[in-house]
Amino acid sequence: MEGGMVTPAQALVRFAGIQKTYDGEHLVVKNLDLDIRKGEFVTLLGPSGSGKTTTLMMLAGFEVPTQGNIYLAGRPINNLPPHRRDIGMVFQNYALFPHLTVAENIAFPLSVRNIGKSEARERVRTALRMIKLENLAQRRPGQLSGGQQQRVALARALVYNPQLVLMDEPLGALDKRLREQMQFEIKQLHETMGITVVYVTHDQSEALTMSDRIAVFNDGIVQQIDEPDALYERPVNSFVAHFIGENNVLAGTVETIERGYCRVALTAGGSVVAQPVNVAGAGVPTSLSVRPERISILANGAVHDGPNCLPATVQNTIYLGDHALAVLQVGGNGEFMVKLQPGAHEGLNRGQCVFITFRPEDCLALDPV
């Protein structure tokens, strides 16, 4: 399912009916149709083996589609070698030349494209200013930190003004703080320069932070492509709901569907009212999805007259600084999470019986897990 639809006329990149197999039997990418508009930051997100990296490698020219066509700016590029595609590439391992200086690494793509020395020097100076490493131009990669090396790799990919920049897990080798800083810097460069970026990651928080749209891959198929908030708030199936953000699951059977809501009998007893997103009809099993921050724990003696009020048993509480988590036993799920304000967990004790409540519109009835 696709949100923020891109027309063929708007597309800088088009995947049309793309399939890829390595052994002639198992399809790594299955019938991929995907359009990316100029200036967009699109992330290919999914678990290992889902097809996202193979898709990026086909776009880069390092893999050839078994079937279908890839277009860049309206022309087919299946048979073009990588160096003729006008595409910049940033890898997780940086792929810098250890014997060249920072400035020489950045200048390398210009030399192979026969850019004049004077223009090349100016482009390198501009790129060094862009990544804030002007004073390190004569150092070699081994003398730089991981974050500095990644900045150099980014500058090298951008210095010749390619139509498109591909990034394959570029921040995977960095620690958490530096990774978050680089996320901000890459996104800022994207917005300032108006470049088109196709980015691969398995980190859903990274994808949510940086992307204009995210294509969620699983088993070689795009399960959903949409803007980050739409993926989080309106997942089209259980895989997307579980892969994007924290999620609680309750199993049940649809009893009735009417007026935009469905009543679900929980397998462990009781019933709830939910939004029917991906259910075939009454009498079918469903997997309910509820986000931890959309759930309230009722205070002792509190009365609730809404449709969704379930008994729960406190299993544990976890303090995380800016928030806390209550781990509950609810409807057969012993790892049911509720996100709380700091300090709100202090009145909860292991084994305590409580009630939880959530709005019907915050509970999505999806395909069974």
Mean pLDDT by 10 residues, the chain (369 residues): 62 96 95 96 96 96 96 94 90 86 92 86 91 92 90 90 92 84 89 93 93 97 96 96 94 94 94 94 95 90 78 93 93 93 85 94 95
Going from the N-terminus, what domains does the chain have, and what CATH number goes with each? Answer: 11-238 (3.40.50.300), 246-366 (2.40.50.140)
Tokens of 30: 């299955």
What Å distances lie between residue 168 and 29, 53, 85, 199, 291, CA to CA?
A: 17, 7, 17, 6, 30
> What pLDDT does residue 55 have?
98
pLDDT at 9: 67
Q: Looking at residue 347, what is its pLDDT?
A: 83
Which amino acid makes up residue 198?
Answer: V
Do 37 and 163 meet the contact criterion of CB atoms below 8 Å apart?
no
Contact between 91 and 153 (Cβ < 8 Å): yes
Question: Can you tell me the distance from the alpha carbon of 288 to that of 262, in angstroms, rounded to the nearest whole number?
Answer: 11
Residue 317's pLDDT is what? 93
pLDDT of residue 5: 65
Residue 1 confidence (pLDDT): 46
pLDDT of residue 246: 92
Record the tokens describing residue 364, joined without a space: 């999505």
pTM (2 d.p.): 0.90
> Strands 285-290 and 248-258: what pairing?
antiparallel
Let me know: does 69 contact 38? Beta carbons within 8 Å.
no
Give the residue carrying structure tokens 């009835």.
365
Distance between CA 208 and CA 213 in Å, rounded?
A: 9
